[in-house]
Amino acid sequence: MKNIEEYCKDKNIKLTPVRHKVLELLQNEKSGLGAYRILDLLREAGFNSQPPVAYRALDFLVEHGFVHKIESQNSFVACTDPGVHHSPVFMICKKCESVSEAPTFETASNISDALMATGFNVEQTIIEAEGVCSTCSEQ
Amino acid sequence: MKNIEEYCKDKNIKLTPVRHKVLELLQNEKSGLGAYRILDLLREAGFNSQPPVAYRALDFLVEHGFVHKIESQNSFVACTDPGVHHSPVFMICKKCESVSEAPTFETASNISDALMATGFNVEQTIIEAEGVCSTCSEQ
DNA sequence: AAACCTCATGATATAATATAACATTACATA
DNA sequence: TATGTAATGTTATATTATATCATGAGGTTT
Ligand SMILES: [Zn+2]
Ligand SMILES: [Zn+2]
Ligand SMILES: [Zn+2]
Ligand SMILES: [Zn+2]
């Protein structure tokens, strides 16, 4: 969070209170949060709680790479390596519902390269793996 | 379609009229169709058009591997290699909106292997690449 | 045939996710 | 002060998806 605050200050990006709060909420969760769950939590924290409030904050955070959307869940997670451009691979545990970004091996770029070879020009990849995390596997 | 009809007959899977129609609609489209678009088309074709009708047919078709859901679009596409279990990689063109399954190189299994090495046990992967297809690139 | 079971469909309602549109405010700076 | 821009407030509505209970169509068992 400190890093992000500094990054925003440096780049003159406005991490307003509601944006800061949404990011904080996501950073405190290891599973994804839906927009309406975030909205509830914002309300509890005394913020305005109409849907556009949450979606605007999320749009901002996603746009700047501080948060990712998990497409298969319509949920959002804080990025674990913000500020660095990357193509994340998510590991979604069916048991504990945790969502984590895989350490980046070259998966996304491998896919891009392979698809490029077929003539398709990749701009962005969405990679989500569902399964069971190491912690849950041990049990 | 003929193949699927035979496959269903063999395995005693019931490809009922509404399921058949939904599959046909998807096979005639090169882009993904949303459930409510499908519902409209069903209505035009004289079918009952309440939401559960479309969702039930889609659930059935997805479950049997005849159709895939495109998570980033909340849309559905007909599988181009049905009956064979696979982990598809989708190429989604921003310009013409076409959705195609990439010829299977071992991408999904590579990812699975790499994640397995970190302790995560992959059961299913969702891979969607957004970009520009070869046809649209040429223009 | 009658009873039963199972799966599919019909029908109504509602939940969950997301955006449109326009008004207002805050703040930088000319 | 005036003016432009980005952010927020507010209301309404669009889009996607599921819950629930009733009805029907086919087989199987008795
Ligand atoms: Zn990230
Ligand atoms: Zn787990
Ligand atoms: Zn397929
Ligand atoms: Zn194209």
**Residues counted in chain A:** 139
pTM summary value: 0.95
Answer yes or no: do A46 and A98 share one domain: no
Would the Cβ of B28 be found within 7 angstroms of any atom in strand C? no
Alpha carbons B100 and B93: distance in angstroms, whole number? 9
In a domain, A83, yes or no: no
- Rg of chain B over CA atoms, in angstroms? 16
Whether residue B114 and residue A91 make contact (CB cut-off 8 A), yes or no, is no
Strands (E), A66-120: 67-70, 75-78, 89-93, 99-101
Same domain as A102, residue A74: no
Same domain, A67 and A31: yes
Total domain count, chain B: 2
Q: Are A69 and A90 in contact (CB under 8 A)?
A: no
Q: Flag whether pLDDT at B103 surpasses 80.
A: no
* Predicted pLDDT at B21: 98
Residues A125, B130: C-beta atoms closer than 8 Å: yes
Same domain, A39 and A67: yes
Give the per-residue pLDDT at A84: 84
| Assigned domain for B94 exists | yes
Give me the pLDDT at residue A88, please: 94
Both A45 and A64 in one domain: the answer is yes
Query: How far, in Å, is the centroid of ligand 1 from the Cα of B55?
Result: 33
Mean pLDDT across B27-40: 98
Which residues from chain B sit within 8 angstroms of residue A126, using beta carbons? 71-72, 126-130
pLDDT tens per residue, range A26-84: 999 999 999 999 999 999 999 988 999 999 999 999 999 999 999 999 999 999 999 88
CATH of the domain at B63: 1.10.10.10
Q: Which ligand is nearest to the CA of A85?
A: 1
A98 lies in which domain range? 89-133
Is B64 in the same domain as B123? no
Regarding whether A115 and A65 lie in a shared domain, the answer is no
**Nucleotide closest to residue B54 (CA–C1'):** D17
Residues A22 and A61 in one domain: yes
User: Given this model, what pLDDT does residue B89 score?
Assistant: 95
Same domain, B10 and B62: yes
Asked whether residue A139 is domain-assigned, the answer is no
Pair (A96, A69) in one structural domain? no
Banded model confidence at residue B84, pLDDT cuts 50, 70, 90: confident
CA distances for B123 relative to A80, A94, A137, B22, B85, angstroms: 23, 10, 13, 27, 13
